[in-house]
Structure 1
């Protein structure tokens, strides 16, 4: 009887570790997605601000390169 309880407790511990591992894996995946999205957002903002600066220069009537 005692051995059966020990085996059941061992499986429960393994299940807890597996569920924890799955939760961590999911959290890491979501974190990576969020970081990639933020990085894309930053690069988009940088590109749009550069084009905005270029349009302001164009509006001034100055020719670039001269």
Structure 2
């Protein structure tokens, strides 16, 4: 029974880590895409 609990905890940690890494990768991609446009967009009055 201990092995099952250990595997369940490990699986949850791995899923959490993967979610965090995916979110971080999305943030890095968004930041890299926005580097060319440092000036704010002009407002259309």
Give the alignment's TM-score, normalised by structure 1. 0.55
Aligned match of 2:21? 35
Pairs within 5 Å for 1:1-66: 15-52=1-38, 55=39
CA distance in 1, matches of 2:18, 2:37: 29
CA distance in 2, matches of 1:28, 1:50: 35
Structure 2: which 5+ residue stretches go unaligned?
40-45
- Please state how far the C-alpha of 1:48 moved relative to its aligned partner: 1.2
Structure 1: which 5+ residue stretches go unaligned?
1-14, 56-66
Give the alignment's TM-score, normalised by structure 2. 0.78
Could you say which structure has the higher helix fraction?
1
